[in-house]
């Protein structure tokens, strides 16, 4: 791969300005306000949603966006396996953080969605949200669905998580980090029959929690299915069926074993290694990605910072899926 490509995104040259210098933006992409006119509208706007008011266990994900910005300074644009230079394929920018209302989940989701709708050009700019707890996925999903022209039946979803996140309510509350996808399905943003949840593992509060997925046709690949069952074949067949359809990807860092990602709020042992998670994302190469998020990083629970570092690599891997699709002739 020749390294003579014109970059679509102005990245500071790391051999002139060291990676540890300057203001920390996601992967060192420029701030949206600083993007030169010839690179507008950007292809991808990355933004934080620093909100964790809807968690059912440990808080702290509101510090995720800042920690991931810091950890992502070491991310470089060229993907070794995909042979793609992200910065040459897309113009990208850090759009800052969405406004949050820390005492209200629903008000925060409405405010974040409204903010996301203003970013770039609705027809061109795709949205990547960095959480925050998993409730924030609803806001970015809604904004993405609106910008894709409100597709009837909803978007397809690739969901990486230890948990199902289709719980109807917790402590009498409908808007929580356990509920983003049940709400999105109810509101027509998602098609449950084109939804794949990977990395699911127990224990559950109630055996009935699995019923919603069964009744609505959600494909579940538990960690055990992936490790020793038919998970690999089912993931391949799901991706094959998607073809060119528009897909949203949501990545809860707790799909990864707490041995590799201890900084998270509802940790569950016996999950994917970081290498397996990255491999799984790479297997999604070929999907038509139109929006994404990475959520549930609690930097305070991980003084070594490995969870934020992993989240920044996950962010890069996900963006590279979009770059691969962009570069692959579809005829
Ligand atoms: Mn989740």
CATH number at residue 311: 3.40.800.10
Return the pLDDT at 210.
Answer: 94
Count of beta carbons in the 10 Å neighbourhood of residue 250:
30
Specify the pTM.
0.97
Quote the CA–CA distance of 321 and 257 in Å, as a whole number. 23
Distance 6 CA to ligand 1 centre (A): 38
Domain region containing 133: 26-327
- Residue 268: both structure tokens together: 């569950």
Q: What is the mean pLDDT of residues 69-96?
A: 97
| Ligand 1 midpoint to CA 244 (Å) | 26
pLDDT at position 3, please? Answer: 54
Q: How far is the CA of 263 from the centre of ligand 1 (A)?
A: 14
Of 114, 104, 94, the closest CA to residue 48 belongs to 94
Q: Helix (H, G, I), strand (E, B), or coil: what is residue 67?
A: helix
Residue 230 CA to ligand 1 center (angstroms) comes to 23
pLDDT of residue 75: 97
Q: Is 85 a residue whose pLDDT tops 80? A: yes
pLDDT for residue 329 is more than 80 = no
The CA 75 to ligand 1 mean position distance, Å, reads 24
Is residue 270, in this structure, part of any structural domain at all? yes
CB-based contact 29:94 (threshold 8 Å)? yes
Q: Quick check: 213 and 220 in contact, CB under 8 A?
A: yes
- Dist. CA 160–CA 157, nearest whole Å: 10
Q: 176 in a domain, yes or no?
A: yes
Q: Ligand 1 center to residue 21 CA distance, Å?
A: 33
- 162 C-alpha to center of ligand 1: Å? 7
Place of tokens 């509802």: 266
Domain count, the chain: 1
Compute the distance from residue 35 Cα to the ligand 1 centre, in Å. Answer: 33
HSE of 13, CA atoms in CB hemisphere, 13 A:
2
| 12 part of a folded domain | no
3 inside domain: no
Paired sense of beta strands 92-97 and 78-79, if any: unpaired
């Amino acid at each position: 791969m020749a390294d003579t490509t014109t970059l679509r995104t102005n990245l500071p040259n790391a051999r002139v300005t060291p990676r540890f210098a300057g203001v920390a933006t996601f992967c060192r992409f420029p701030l949206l306000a600083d993007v030169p006119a010839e690179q507008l509208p950007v292809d991808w706007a990355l933004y934080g949603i620093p909100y964790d008011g809807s968690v059912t266990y440990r808080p702290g994900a509101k510090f995720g966006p800042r920690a991931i910005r810091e950890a992502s300074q070491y991310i470089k644009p060229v993907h070794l396996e995909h042979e793609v230079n992200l910065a040459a394929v897309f113009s990208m920018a850090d759009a800052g953080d969405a406004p949050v209302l820390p005492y209200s989940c629903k008000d925060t989701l409405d405010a974040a969605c409204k903010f996301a709708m203003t970013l770039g050009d609705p027809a061109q700019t795709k949205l990547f949200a960095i959480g925050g707890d998993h409730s924030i996925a609803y806001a970015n999903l809604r904004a993405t669905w609106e910008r894709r022209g409100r597709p009837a039946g909803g978007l397809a979803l690739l969901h990486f998580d230890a948990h199902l996140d289709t719980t109807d309510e917790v402590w009498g509350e409908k808007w929580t980090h356990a509920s983003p996808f049940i709400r999105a399905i109810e509101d027509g943003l998602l098609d449950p029959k084109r939804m794949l949840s990977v990395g699911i593992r127990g224990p559950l509060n109630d055996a009935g929690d699995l019923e919603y997925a069964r009744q609505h046709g959600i494909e579940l690949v538990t960690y055990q299915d992936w490790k020793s069952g038919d998970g690999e074949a089912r993931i391949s067949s799901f991706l094959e069926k998607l073809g060119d359809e528009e897909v949203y990807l949501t990545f809860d860092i707790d799909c990864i074993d707490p041995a590799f990602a201890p900084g998270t709020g509802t940790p569950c042992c016996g999950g994917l290694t970081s290498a397996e998670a990255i491999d799984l994302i790479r297997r999604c190469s070929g999907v038509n990605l139109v929006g994404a998020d990475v959520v549930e990083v609690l930097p305070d629970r991980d003084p070594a910072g490995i969870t934020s570092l992993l989240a920044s690599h996950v962010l890069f891997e996900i963006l590279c899926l979009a770059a691969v699709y962009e570069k692959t002739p579809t005829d």
